[in-house]
Amino acid sequence: MSAYIRPDMKAFLDALAAMDGPSIADMTLEEARASYVALHGMADRPARDLPIIRDLSCPGPEGEIGLRLYDPRKTRDASPVIVFYHGGGFVIGDLDTHHALCSEIAALMDLPLVAVDYRRAPEAPFPEPILDCEAATRWIASSPGELSHDVTGLITIGDSAGGNATIVIGQLLADNPADAPVVLQVPIFPLASDAMGSASLEEFADGFVLTKAAVEYFDAQYAPDRNDPRAMPILGDHSKAPPTVLVTASLDPIRDSGRDYGAALAQAGIDCAFLEMKGVTHSFTNLRQAVPSAQADLERMAAAMKLMLERD
């Protein structure tokens, strides 16, 4: 039986197929990065016009790490801060590819958000991007003066590779806590377990935005150690995981990896809201102009986040 595809998602996939462009594996690194920027620029809604959108930086293991602060309020009292790690296989994303999404999440949550511009592979392969994410998160947790804000807790969130980083940072901070605790983590279609050989990778190998060939390309560039929980967080200790909103997409080649993580959280007794968005693909969060129904999915995610934050 064929998988259900929403009408607006199918229209977008048909349009992509008609373009008949080269695959990421056939592009140069510069072309792959430019195509990712172009895809999101074409398919995502415009960024929100927020009172505060400001570029910052913080110290990292190999120099300064770029950050971007979003806040829907000019001033606010002490509160949690959302820390966002962008997707792109640890290879092709940056602050600009996820600018619109970050502005939307900050607006929906009415909280400050700091996006992390970690180093990327192949120039900086595993574990360098994770080291940057950890350093930036700890810096944010310390309520640095550059934020002009007292941080009471962290909400870590990211899509795809950023979803992997979200889980990994939660594990690293559980073992060696930061100044402010992780009060909620939100991995969005994350790579948590090894996707190679999974049923979803074969079922949605081609024609669903993210392809099997692209997954293999990113893996070769990032060069993760499959025995290291910082690469495959399914291997980590789930008993210390923070409360979680876990989001997957039903037409995603790495869907089963996210499902694996949800099962591990349930087995460990962790408070988790699991949302699998039906009829959409990987990256639906950045396709909200081309696939209008995806905006409602993002709003469902934000509602789940608020619900988890309000729990006793």
In a domain, 215, yes or no: yes
Where do we find the tokens 């605790």?
Answer: 181
Best CA proximity match to 41, nearest among 96, 88, 110: 96
In a domain, 20, yes or no: yes
Confidence of residue 20 (pLDDT cuts 50, 70, 90): confident
Question: pLDDT tens-digit profile of 160-205?
Answer: 999 999 999 999 999 999 999 999 999 999 999 999 999 999 999 9
In a domain, 90, yes or no: yes
CATH number, domain of 216, equals 3.40.50.1820
In this predicted structure, the answer to whether residue 312 has a pLDDT above a threshold of 80 is no
In a domain, 194, yes or no: yes
In a domain, 50, yes or no: yes
Q: Where in the sequence numbering do the catalytic residues fall?
A: 160, 252, 282
Q: How far apart are CA 137 and CA 206, in angstroms?
A: 35
What tokens does 7 get?
């009408």
> Containing domain of residue 190, as a range?
7-310
* Beta strands in the chain, from DSSP E residues, in sequence order: 52-60, 63-71, 79-85, 113-117, 151-159, 182-188, 244-249, 272-277
In a domain, 1, yes or no: no
In a domain, 171, yes or no: yes
- H/E element, 91: none
How many separate domains does the chain show?
1
- Measured in residues, the chain has a length of 312
Confidence of residue 311 (pLDDT cuts 50, 70, 90): confident
Looking at residues 227-251, what average pLDDT do you find? Answer: 98
In a domain, 274, yes or no: yes
